A = this chain, B = another copy of it.
Amino acid sequence: RIDGKRLWDSLMAMAEIGATPKGGVKRLTLTEVDREGRDRFRQWCEALGLSVRVDAIGNMFARREGRDPSRLPVLFGSHLDSQPTGGKFDGALGVIAGLEVMRTLNDLNISTEAPLELVNWTDEEGSRFGHSLMGSGTWAGVYDEAKVNALTDVDGVSVGAALDSIGYRGPHPAKPFPVDAYFELHIEQGPILEREGKMVGIVTGAQAQVWYDAVITGQDAHAGTTPPSARRDALVAAARVIAHVDALMRARGEDGRGTVGFLQVLPNSCNVVPGEVRFSVEFRHPRTEEIEQLAASFPSEAEKLVSETGCRLQLREKFRFAHQPFDPACVDLVRQAAARLGHDAREIVSGAGHDAVYVARHVPTAMIFTPCKDGLSHNEAESILPEEAEAGCQVLFEAVLARANA
């Protein structure tokens, strides 16, 4: 069995890196704080005798050899980057639990048939550069590596420059290598497991998504002298779009998701009618058709709302993906492990995007969820219990072992 206390201690040690006063974590991807987290992770892996390699987009793979040199590796892990006001467990749980799997195998002197690889994906959150699942998406060929390198944060720093500045642009190509299966443990980040008193979520797939970048252009003007008829206020136009995104979400009931999470006003001065507003829009739904329908109708609806105010809208679709089902055989290994361990479990569709979604395009994939307090995530108050972390880690251990020795 895995060591629940050791798992928890390492989670807390990782949470010290980028710890915020309110008890959360700010470990934005490819920052100095992220580098610290990555260095710590690398030391921990090397102390176990794992060999760590880094690919061109900064994804880190820590390998433990198997008995059978002809077998493909079983891959597992998650991400160590966080939101600006993130929690201690979103991502870190899957990586540190993977480490605990490796430690337990070493302790018990277990060698597996297939090799094992533990991964820390770069920039899962998408908060800094605006594309979630960036590292796994680049690895999976969903994103073009050159384009990803050129993406910039609000300060104009590019992904490429950030990779170089923290020394995590590795020599290995950021593309799929042969892998037998991928498992990812993650907190649910939603309320379902907690509400139903389930210890384990058997994730059968992830919901469909579409993300946009929006720029509204109006005209900077003096707030005191410019009469209503002469205004082209980009923020008034943006307010209409924000309200519409919210309405489109609510029209889809409790399964609907529609969010404007990022917004920047220019010149952002109290007595200047805003001349430009830049913001993000994203929609999600378990059913692909709903996202296809939104992707077909939202751009022209938003365009109409904005042009009625005399402003112009540029809307760029950043990415869109369908509902991603996971591999039935891998999902079954999770189901069996949870049953064997006697955990109350249920099937669940992931509301969040996960690296597993892109990996699943190339590799048989499954995920394991554990509950989190009040379903709260992307929030410094994000919280889980040590026994929940332990249960999830033990399920991961058993699923990985079963696959590697099959």
Interface residues of A in 257-271 (CB under 8 A from B): 257, 259-271
**Contact residues in B for A224 (Cβ distance below 8 Å):** 189, 207, 209, 257, 284, 350-353
Residue A211 at the B interface, CB < 8 A?
yes
Q: Which of A159-167, A235-243, A323-331, A392-400 contacts B (4 or more CB under 8 A)?
A: A235-243
Asked whether B262 lies within 8 Å of A269 as measured between CB atoms, the reply is yes
Contact A190 B261 (CB under 8 A): no
Partner of A222, one of B249, B250, B260, B351: B351
Contacts A260-B235, A263-B265: A130 and B222 contacting too (C-beta < 8 A)?
no
Asked whether A246 lies within 8 Å of B256 as measured between CB atoms, the reply is: no
Distance of A344 from chain B, by nearest CB (Å): 20
How many Å lie between the Cα of A84 and that of B274 in the bound state?
Answer: 12
A223: Cβ under 8 A from any B Cβ: yes
Within 8 Å by CB of A270, from B127, B239, B266, lies: B127
Tell me if B239 and A243 are in contact (CB < 8 A): yes
A130 neighbours in B (Cβ, 8 Å) = 270
Give which listed residue, B125, B126, B274, B282, contacts A261 with CB less than 8 A: B274
* Docked pose: A262 CA to B271 CA in angstroms: 8
- Verify if A51 is at the interface (C-beta below 8 Å from B): no
Q: Which of B126, B256, B268 is the one whose CB lies under 8 Å from A228?
A: B256
For the side of the interface on A, what is the size category?
35 or more
Query: Which of A132, A271, A274, A284 has most chain B Cβ within 10 Å?
Result: A271
Question: Which parts of A154-195 form the interface with B (CB within 8 Å)?
Answer: 188-191
Closest Cβ of chain B to A94, distance in Å, is: 16
In the assembled complex, the Cα of A380 lies from the Cα of B223 at a distance in Å of: 15
CB–CB B265/A230 < 8 A: no
Which of A52-60, A65-73, A370-378 contacts its partner?
A370-378
A376 to B226, CA, bound (A): 8
Residues of B with C-beta under 8 A to A126: 269-271
Determine the distance from Cα of A226 to Cα of B239 in the docked complex, in whole angstroms: 21
Q: Which residues of B contact A225 (CB under 8 A)?
A: 188-191, 351-352, 375, 377
Q: Which of A264-296 contact B (CB under 8 A)?
A: 264-275, 280, 282, 284
Q: Which residues of B contact A254 (CB under 8 A)?
A: 227-229
Q: Chain B residues near A350: list those with CB within 8 A.
A: 224
A residues contacting B by CB (< 8 A) are 83-85, 125-127, 130, 132, 188-191, 207, 209, 211, 219-230, 233, 235-236, 238-240, 242-243, 246, 249-250, 253-257, 259-275, 280, 282, 284, 350-353, 375-380
Q: List 26 A-B contacts (CB under 8 A).
A: A84-B267, A132-B271, A189-B225, A190-B222, A211-B270, A222-B376, A224-B350, A225-B351, A227-B257, A228-B254, A229-B254, A233-B259, A239-B239, A240-B243, A259-B271, A260-B274, A261-B265, A261-B270, A261-B272, A261-B273, A262-B268, A262-B269, A263-B268, A269-B378, A271-B282, A271-B353
Which 8 residue pairs of A and B lie closest in terms of their CB atoms, listed nearest first?
A190-B225, A225-B351, A270-B280, A223-B259, A127-B269, A239-B239, A239-B242, A84-B267
Interface contacts beyond A229-B254, A233-B246: sample of 18 additional A-B pairs, CB < 8 Å, sorted by A: A84-B267, A85-B272, A126-B269, A126-B271, A127-B267, A223-B259, A224-B257, A224-B353, A226-B257, A235-B260, A236-B243, A236-B246, A239-B243, A259-B273, A261-B268, A261-B272, A262-B265, A262-B269
